[in-house]
Structure 1
Amino acid sequence: MAKKKADDRLTPNEQNLYAGMDIIKDHRLFGKLDINLSIANKGKYPKGKLNKGTAALACESGDILLNPDESRTPEQWAYIIAHCMLHLCFGHFENDNMPGYFEPQKDGTEKWAAHCDHDRWNTACDIYIAKFLADIKFPGAELPPQELTASDERKIYDLLCNNTEEERPFVFSTASHGHDMFWNGVENSWWRRNRSYAAEFAYALADSVRSVIDEAGGKTDNRKKTVQESAAEWFIAHYPLLGALASAFRITEVGYGSAAPMNTDISVAAINVTEREIYVNTAAGLDSEEWKFVLAHEYLHAGLMHHERCEGRDPYLWNVACDFVINGWLCEMQIGKMPVNGGLYDETLKGCSAEEIYDIIVADIRRSSKYQTFRGNSRCDILDKGYAESKYKPVTLDDFCRSALRSGLEYHTEKGRGYIPAGLIEEIRALSEPPIPWDVELAKWFEDHFEPVGKKRTYARPSRRQSSTPDIPRPSYVTEEIPEHSRTYGVIIDTSGSMSPEDIGLALGAVVSYSVEREVPLVRVVFCDATAYDAGWIRPDDLAGTVEVKGRGGTVIQPAVDLLERDKDFPKEGPILIITDGMIERDLTVHHEHAFMLPRGYSLPFRARGKVFYFSRR
C-alpha cells in the first residue's frame, strides 16, 4: 500500500483517502489481500490518467490508481478501493473470463479468443461487483436493479447487449466516465503475470469465513493454533469433501504434556464418533502433512460409518480392515503424508471393500493380532460402538455423517477440487442411499415364501335362488383352495435369560403382522433355552401372548431344529424363522429354508447360510 506522509502535510482529501485505506487494511476480508495501491503523482502514474470526478482506476498491470484530489469520506474511499480490488480478484482482465469465441488453431485445437466491447464489459463487471458488495453487507454498497443482475459477468454483459433502451448512467463505477478498468498491457508487467489474485482472494475469503465461525462459536482466544488444529482448518478451507466433517469434530489433545494425561494409551490418534471428538497425541512427533493424513483417516472413519457397520464383527479386526481401505484411498488422493506408525497399507488389497478385507485377515488370526492402528498395537482407533443416541437434534449422527460426505462430494466434483478414487465415490454414494429397514426386508422374506392368495373366475352352477334362469351363466370370483400345510412355517424362539422381553416382543410383533397379512393360518412354534419346548400349532393372532422367558442360562438351538425337521406334521418345504440373540452353539445344521432374527449389535458365532435380519427399536 502507499506510504503515509506526515499528517500536518496532508490535505483534507488526502487524510480521508488514507483513512479509507486504513479501513480496508483492518477489514476482515480485504485486509488480507496484497494489492498495490498507487496514489497519482506519488508514483509511476501521472495524474493525467485520472479525469475529474474519477476516484480510482483498476489497472491491468495489477495496480489500483487513486486520485487524491477527489473529495470522498473515508467510508466512500473504502468502498471504492474494495470495488477496484475485486476487478483484479474476479479476473475481469483475463481473456478466458471475457465474452468471446473459440478460435481454431493450426494444430486442430481451439483457443478462447476474447471479443467484446470493453466499455460494456466494464459496466457488466461493475454491476456484478456492486451486487457482491451488497450481498456481504459492505458499508455504502447499493444493490443493482433486479433486471440487471445475473449469476456471472458474461450473463450481465448479454443483458446489456440485448437492452435496447438507453443505457443507465454509470452509477456503480468509480470513474466519472464510467470506465474504471484501465487496459495498460498485461504483457508488460512481470508482477501481473506472476500473481494469482483469484487464488489469494479465495484464501482470504475462506479465512474470513472461518474467523466469523470461530467468533460465533465463542472461540475468541488469540493463542497460537496447534499443528493439529491447523491441519483440521486446512480441510475446512481447502478440501470440500471432508470440510463439513472437519468442522463438526473437536480436536482434543492427550498425552503426558496435555490437559488429559489419563488418555496415554493413544499412540497417534483415535476418534469417538458419538461424542464428535478426535483425540490426538501431541507427543507423536508428526509434521503438518502427516497430521493431515491422520485427520483425514479419522474423518473417513466417521463419514463412512465404520462404527455402525461393524455389525457384530470383531471390532479390532474390522478396524484394521477399514484402515487398509482408507489408507489406500488417501494415498491415491495424495492428502498429506502417511506416518510410519499405524499406517496400514497393502498394494495387493487395492480395490477390495472393508468387508472383503475382513474376511481375508480373519483367516490368519495370529498375524492379524499384530497390526498397529493409529491408536497403537492391537487397539482400535474407533473408540465407540456408535449406538448411543445423538445429542445433536433433530439430525441424527448417522444422517449428519452421510449428509456431510454427500454434500462434500458434490461440491468437490463440481468445482474440480482434486482426484477422488472411484471406490470411495461408490461407497459414499451407496451410503447416501437410505438403508432398507429391517422390517421391510422381513416382509420381502415372507413375500418370497408365501405368495398372496389369489382369486379366480368361476362359472360354477349358480345357487338355488337363481334357479328361475338356469341357462344364464353368472361368473364370479372365488378364493383358490390351497392346503393349509403349504402356507405355514416354523418359529424357534430363544427364551433364555439373555433375551429381553422387549426384544422378543418386537420380533414377534413383526412376525405376527406379516403372517396375518400373508394369510398364514397356523404357525408351528418351538421355545428353547437349554432344551426345546414344542408349543404345537398356534394361530398368528395368539402368538404374541404365549411367550415366557425361561431364564435357564445358555441356549441350544439344534434340538428345536431337529424337532421341526423330523416332525411328520411339519411340511418338508416349510421355512423356519429363528429368533435369538446369537448366544447359541457354534455348530448349527438346518436343512430347511431358514432365516435368523437378531437384535442389532449382536452376531451369530458362525457364518449363516440363511438370511439374517437385525431388528432394533429405533
Structure 2
Amino acid sequence: MSDDCQALLSATRLRLRMQSPFFATLALFARYYVTEAIPTAGTEGKNIYFNPHYLAQLTPAERDGLFLHELLHGALLHQSRRASRLPELWNIAADIVVNGMIVAEGKFVIPKGGLREPELEKYSVEEVYELLIKRESPPALPIADLLQEIPNLTTQSDSNNNDNDLNSNDSEPNGGQSSANSSKIHSHSQDDQEIHRNRLESPRHQEEQLAVHWRNAIQQATVVARSQFQGNLPEGLERHLGEIGQPQLDWRTYLWRFLVHTPNDFQGYDRRFIHQGLYLEALVGESVEVFCCIDTSGSVGDEEMGIFLSELRGIFGSYPQIKCWLWYADADCYGPYELDNLNAVPKPQGGGGTDFRPFFTAVDEKWSREKQAVICYLTDGYGSFPDQAPPLDTLWVVSPGGKNSDGFPFGEVVRLRS
C-alpha cells in the first residue's frame, strides 16, 4: 500500500507539471505524508497528510483535486487566518473558497462530496465565514481537514516521499524549476526531528514562519507561471492569493487609524488603547469633521449597523476634536444628524435602491473648507458612484459579501469582518 500511494502521489505531481506550472511549483514547498492517523486528507498549514485507503479509491483527476485542495489551504494560510473563529465553520468557508478556485481552473475536479457554493466562491474566506454564520443551517462539513495539530505519524505507512523535496530550510527551488540533482530526500529521523521542533515552537513563531514560507512559494510559482504563459494568473486565483500578501488588519483598528490620521500635530501614542493592541496617535490641534453615511438600501443588516455605530461613538467619545455628521442613504440621503455619545442615534431611513451621489453632493455642501475632514461610507458597494472623486479622503467600510475592493473608483476599502 505504501509504495502504491507513493506512486499515485508522484503521478499527481507529474500531471501538475504538465497542466499548471504555477501549482507544480507551489507543490514543491509542501511535504506530504501517507498515514492512517487521519480518515481522508488534511494539513496543519505546511505538511499534507493522506490516508492511503482513501487515496487509493479516488480517480486520478480526483487525486489531483484533493492534492490541490490541501495545498491551497496551506498556501492561503487558512490555518493561521482563522484566529478565534469557530473551527468547523471556518473549515467550511475555507473549503468553499479552495474548491471554487480548483473548479474555476477548468483542468481539475474535486472528490465527490466536496463543498460547492458558487455564489460565495468569489469572496475571501473571512467574508464567506461571515455570510455563513448568519445562516440558520450552514452546509455540513464532510471532513475536518484543517488539522489543529500534527497527526501522530507512528501509524503512517511511509514517511515523507517527496521525490523533489525542495522546501527544507536550507534548500530552495532554483527559480521554481525542479532538478533531480538538487532534490533532497529526508530520512524518517530527519522528518521526526523537524516535526518535534515544530511542536516546541510558539504558535506565533510558527505562524510567522509559515507566512514567510508560503509567500516565497507563491512568489516563485507566479514568476514561473508568468514566464511560461507571458501573462497574468487567472483573476480568481490572483485575487485569493493576493489576500495573504496583505496584512490582516481588523476593520475596527483600521477605522480608528483612519479617523485620527490627519495633518495635525501628534503627541505620541494614546495610552488608553495600548492594552487593546491599538497603538493610536494622540491627536492634538484643530478639530476634524467626519462625514459618515450608512447604506440603508437593505444590504446592510441591523447587526452590522449597530456594531459600526458603536465603534464610531467610541472613537468620538475618546477624541473630542472629532465631530461626526451622520447620513442614511439609499437612492436619496437623509440627514445630517450630529453623532456623539449623548444624542440618541436617529432611526434609519431608506429601503430603496442605492445611489452614492446624493450623499457626496450633501457633503460638498456641508463641508465648510475651514476644518480638516474625512468621509466614511458603510455599504455593500453596489450603487452609482460620482463621476469624480471628492476632495476629501474617503474610507469605504464594506459589508460581508460586498463589491470587490478593486471595484471602488476612489478611496480606501476595508472589509467589515468580525
Computing the radius of gyration from Cα coordinates, the structure with the larger value is 1
